[in-house]
Chain A
Amino acid sequence: MALLILLTVLLIIIAIAKILKSNELVYKLKDIDADTVSPAEIKTNATGILVFGFVLFAMVISTFIGWEKYLLPPSGSVHGVEIDTLMMVTMVIIMIVFFITHALLFWFVFKYYYRKDRKALWYPHNNSLEIAWTVVPASVLILLITYGMSTWSNIMYPEYEDDAVVMEVVSEQFKWTARYSGEDQTLGYASFALYGKNPVGVATIYAMEDRLQECESKVISFSKDSAELETLLTNGWNRENDYDKVISSLKNYRSNVNRVKRMLLEAEKNPALFDAGEDDLVINSDSIYLPKGRQVILNIRSKDVIHSAYLPHFRAQMNAVPGLTTRFVFEPRLTNEEMFEVAKAEGKNFTGYILLCNKICGTSHYNMKLHIRVVEDKDYRKWLSAQTVFKEAYK
């Protein structure tokens, strides 16, 4: 293999040297003015541009026809249908512009390539033309802008429905955890101070008390460690790295103790606030269910770094940002089985709905997914009732 590559490189170098030599000879023989390009070369390249144009157009047309089957199947969500229409309109417009401008470009190059006996036209400006090709694109764009903005507003400012599924996904390196609200359609308050054995940090009073105890014991053990390390350091040990780690852990847990204490004080004043989480359902699985035909209010949170919840089949995407709860609202319109059929009718392959991470988040960014099954509402309810509520799951 190495030999083969070496040989190829050698051959290329020889070829280049030959070209250079013949090139210089040609210039000498034809006695072309040392500074101009030869008319023959210009003609060849002008033809080349025309051929390139045909090849480019052929490639674009053939891929648009031949590769269409690899693109995403029709939208699995209601708002996505609107996006797909907007996409189609935009694509048609940009393809028209692409073909017209490129056809002109390639044709002009071929038509007006250099000949000795010709002189170019003196045509420095024309204000009516400038105005024309400012106004025409502007009007097309205004249409696209208006259309795009109204689609965007429809998606981003939805009307909340009474029977909506209220849920959230919480991202961490490198998985997603989902939580559904219970009958109360409210997700209980959650805080990063409680992550640990509480995967999405649901703040109920017993979960907070539990966490407080855990953190306090951590503080004690890290204090001990740090004191020990300190003596070692004063005795001439060079263990700075460990020392820094222990100290920062100590600080982290100490601040967390205060944080949880403040939350508990709040709970004393306003216990109802912390009850909503009792009936929430935390799903410890890489696969979740959604009902067809009901609005899904998907809240998105992150534990550590920025991730992005990307649901390509639903035309939905929103970043997961630590410290911020983001939201995307959509309505599935086809069950997995229906989608499979719809895709098949278009000659496409549908392998199941998926939520994948689409913001670089570390080593296993490429493998951070949540499978989604869209089913009829009754099947969804059956699945959900088989899950354990937080109160029971938290032991």
Chain B
Amino acid sequence: MAGGHDHHHETFISKYIFSFDHKMIAKQYLITAISMAVVGMAMSVLFRLQLAWPGEKMWILNFFLGDKWAPDGILDPNMYLALVTIHGTIIVFFVLTGGLSGTFSNLLIPYQLGARDMASGFMNMLSYWLFFLSSVIMLYSCVIESGPASGGWTVYPPLSALPQAMPGSGLGMTLWLVSMTIFIASSLMGSLNYIVTVVNLRTKGMTMTRMPLTIWCFFVTAVLGVLSFPVLLSAALLLMFDRSLGTSFYLDSIFIGGQPLEATGGSPILYEHLFWFLGHPEVYIILLPALGLVSEVVSTNSRKPIFGYRAMIVSVLAIAFLSFVVWGHHMFITGMSPFLGTVFTFTTLLIAIPSAVKVFNYLATIWKGNLRLTPAMLYALGMVSLFISGGLTGIVLGDSALDINVHDTYFVVGHFHIVMGAGAIFGMFAGVYHWFPRMYGRLMNNSLGYIHFWVTIIAVYGVFYPMHFLGLAGAPRRYYTNAEYEMFDDIQFINPIITAFSILSAVGQFIFIFNFFYSIRKGRKSNQNPWKATSLEWTAPVERIHGNWPGALPTVYRWPYDYSKPGYEEDFVPQNVPLKEGELDGH
């Protein structure tokens, strides 16, 4: 356990590279995630160009992908699938799982709980470096001769198990599996660390029901990760065995390359069950931290306590529990028993209830508040909007009868990009703008923040809203082009619109990246508590010192949402201020 070593000698390597310090590790995660996000986003623009103008020569494709994958600027169909696959993998795992939890759980768990550091600094460091290693392997897989994995981010076997099925199922797929295995190890180490820290290292007075909602969300997320990632690990290992050791966990009755395969007796459906047993909790592993950050940002900037603190905790727990019993809604039409379809429809639609409670609580929080619309607050409100829009289309997809006709169409693409893609990214942006002063002691530029927000939210709705129409017109996802089908000629005009917005969105993100790196060096200096917030991280000095607080750790006397409390001059009362005589906590 990291104690309060006042005179700790730090070399460059121990301070900036193999650091044990949660604040530094958080920054490492954030910057790695930003780099991965740039790659993932660039890929999406490349395949969006193809979808808007299929088969046309575009020098930019040739410039980025070279003569092998885009000869004369015409995208190769295998490369298209590879881009789609790696885009999904990078954004889902490396940006929104590793990046989001890695950054904010690391930064905020010790700070908001009043701890000196994470329970195990060493494991934390190891977790980051495994994450880094897996990122490097994933990126490396993109530049090998036969191309990266291209069976979609879900890599269903037999497509992913048989190298003869497509070029991307060769070495690229092996590297994908190796990278994911390391990623899972990293994620598990991180999650265990978060759980142990939350359970053991809360400062005096910080009871579970005085923890900020951010911590509740990170905690529940970590539990979800620990329970579900091992299942993906076993799925990946069995897939590796099928690929290299001649087993047949997922293979049965296959005739490929002109030959009947020896391997029989397995089931591809088994992989789907294992994958989605992680896959669905994964959605909430992504979403809950974002919701946690948003809760905190909304409450602070509304100058009002979060409405229904306990109801929020209960709804997070309910969502977490339900997320384990809904994975089958990804598999309604795989041929699994229709009875299971009924069960999964029931459990899936139940999730809408705690989700609705959260939305109404957010609305009640901003009602009669005094809303300081900082860029972080705008992003938080934007996230609430996306959570509503994307959540509602989930009611269509979660209903097995309706899913029949929209399964795997652009309706799905629109739905999950809004709710967990853009939704979680918005939460992440809210977090970065809000806690940037905590990370770097400086503020990000507001005007650029506002421009960034407006460009992003317009682009997000511009990209993903029209996709619902493509889906309702029957257009399948992961098609290299729709030009082979007369029935899609009428809707092709929508694709250039989407692509234009996706380019706008990509360009807009450079405003953020510029602002981020510019503000690290040149931003306005922040004071200790720039947002006048109540939680403990703002009671620590602006300088990010080893052990976080110079003297004794702060003691907590109240819940974290005493904003505009009657009887106080200021509109916020930090958690470490003792209750007045006769004052009730949280009432």
> B396–A94 contact, CB under 8 A?
yes
Residues of chain A with a CB closer than 8 A to B167's CB: 363
A94 to B167, CA, bound (A): 42
A37-B305 in contact (CB<8A): no
A255 to B474, CA, bound (A): 42
How far apart are the CA atoms of A144 and B345 in the complex, in Å?
Answer: 10
Closest Cβ neighbor of B332 among chain A residues? A152
Report Cα–Cα, A119/B567, bound state, in Å. 12
What are 18 residue pairs bridging A and B, where the CB atoms are less than 8 Å apart in the complex? A23-B445, A41-B450, A83-B404, A90-B395, A113-B371, A119-B303, A123-B367, A124-B305, A149-B342, A252-B261, A253-B260, A304-B254, A306-B158, A317-B333, A323-B266, A324-B252, A361-B159, A364-B77
Least CB distance, B86 to chain A, in whole angstroms:
14
CB distance from A339 to the nearest CB of B (A): 12
Shortest Cβ gap from B51 to chain A (Å)? 11
Is there contact, CB below 8 Å, between B484 and A86? no
Q: Is the CB of B472 within 8 A of A71?
A: yes
Least CB distance from B560 to A in Å reads: 11
What chain B residues lie within 8 Å of A384 (beta carbons)? none
Interface residues of B in 376-400 (CB under 8 A from A): 378, 381, 384-385, 388-389, 392-393, 395-396, 399-400
Interchain CA distance A127-B150 in the complex, whole Å? 50
Is B207 on the interface with A (CB-CB < 8 A)? no
* CB of A7 within 8 Å of the partner chain: no
Shortest beta-carbon distance from A337 to chain B in Å: 16
- Chain A residues near B66 (CB-CB < 8 A): none
Q: In the complex, which residue of chain B has the Cβ closest to the Cβ of A55?
A: B458
Return the contact of A358 from the options B311, B352, B402, B409 (Cβ within 8 A).
B409
Verify if B53 is at the interface (C-beta below 8 Å from A).
no
| Number of A-B contacts defined by CB within 8 Å | 385
Q: Does B514 contact A (CB under 8 A)?
A: yes
Given A23-B447, A42-B373, do A94 and B392 touch, yes or no (CB 8 Å)? yes
- A262 to B: closest C-beta gap in Å: 12
A145 to B402, CA, bound (A): 11
Are B349 and A63 in touch, CB under 8 angstroms?
no
Give min CB distance, A297 to chain B, whole Å: 15
A137 at the interface (CB under 8 A from B): yes
A159 interface hit (Cβ, 8 Å): no
- A354–B487 CB distance below 8 A: yes
Cβ–Cβ contact B446 & A360, under 8 A:
no
Name the interface size band of chain B. 35 or more
Does residue B443 face the partner (Cβ distance < 8 Å to A)?
yes
CB distance from B5 to the nearest CB of A (A): 31
The reply to whether the CB of B64 lies closer than 8 angstroms to some CB of chain A is no
Residue of A nearest to B78 (CB): A363
Closest to B465 in A: A59
Cross-interface CB contact of A119 among B370, B472, B489, B511, cutoff 8 Å: B370
Q: A102-B385, A113-B373 are in contact. List 14 more A-B contacts (CB 8 A).
A: A23-B446, A37-B373, A120-B302, A121-B368, A124-B306, A144-B395, A152-B400, A252-B260, A253-B260, A317-B408, A319-B335, A321-B269, A324-B269, A365-B479
User: Contact: A63 with B366, CB < 8 Å?
Assistant: no
Instruction: Identify the stretch in A44-52, A160-168, A179-187 within 8 Å (CB) of chain B at 4 or more residues.
Output: A44-52
Whether B266 contacts A155 by the Cβ 8 Å rule is: no
Which A310-339 residues have a C-beta within 8 angstroms of B?
310, 312-313, 315-319, 321-324, 326
Interchain CB contact under 8 A, A105 and B466: no
Partner of A20, one of B59, B345, B448: B448
Segment touching B, from A128-136, A276-284, A385-393: A128-136
Q: A42 vs B372: C-alpha distance in the bound complex, in angstroms?
A: 7
Q: In the complex, what's the smallest C-beta–C-beta distance from B567 to chain A, in angstroms?
A: 9
Q: Is the CB of B404 within 8 A of A155?
A: yes
B62 at the interface (CB under 8 A from A): no
Is B563 part of the contact surface with A, judged by Cβ < 8 Å?
A: yes
**B480 and A90: CB pair below 8 A?**
no
- Which chain A positions have C-beta within 8 A of B359? 101
Contact pick for A16, options B335, B369, B480, B511, CB 8 Å: B511
Interfacial residues of chain B within 462-479, with CB under 8 A of chain A in the complex: 465-466, 469, 472-474, 476, 478-479
**CB-based nearest B residue for A260:** B260
Flag whether A141 is at the interface (Cβ < 8 A).
yes
Residues of chain B with a CB closer than 8 A to A20's CB: 445, 447-448, 518
CB pair A35 B526 closer than 8 Å: yes
Question: Would you give the shortest CB distance from A67 to chain B, in whole angstroms?
Answer: 5
Quote the shortest CB–CB distance from A15 to chain B (angstroms).
10
Interface residue? A237 (CB, 8 A): no
Do B373 and A324 touch (CB < 8 A)? no
Kindly state the separation between the CA atoms of A312 and B345 in the bound complex, as whole angstroms.
Answer: 21
Please tell me if the beta carbons of A360 and B159 are within 8 angstroms of each other in the complex: yes
Whether B407 pairs with A114 at a CB distance below 8 angstroms is no
Q: Is B582 an interface residue (CB 8 A)?
A: no
Residue B356 is within 8 A (CB to CB) of chain A in the complex: yes
By the criterion CB–CB under 8 Å, are B252 and A323 in contact? yes
Could you say which residues of chain B place their CB within 8 Å of the CB of A35?
Answer: 443, 526-527, 530-531
Interface string of A138-164 (1 = CB under 8 A from B): 100100110011011101110000000
CB–CB A306/B363 < 8 A: no
B18 at the interface (CB under 8 A from A): no
A251 within 8 A of B: yes
- State A246–B156 Cα separation when bound (angstroms): 27
Would you call A109 an interface residue if the criterion is a C-beta within 8 Å of the partner chain's C-beta atoms? yes
- Name the A residues within 8 Å of B334 (CB-CB): 319, 321, 326
Contact indicator B402/A134 (Cβ below 8 Å): no
B91 within 8 A of A: no
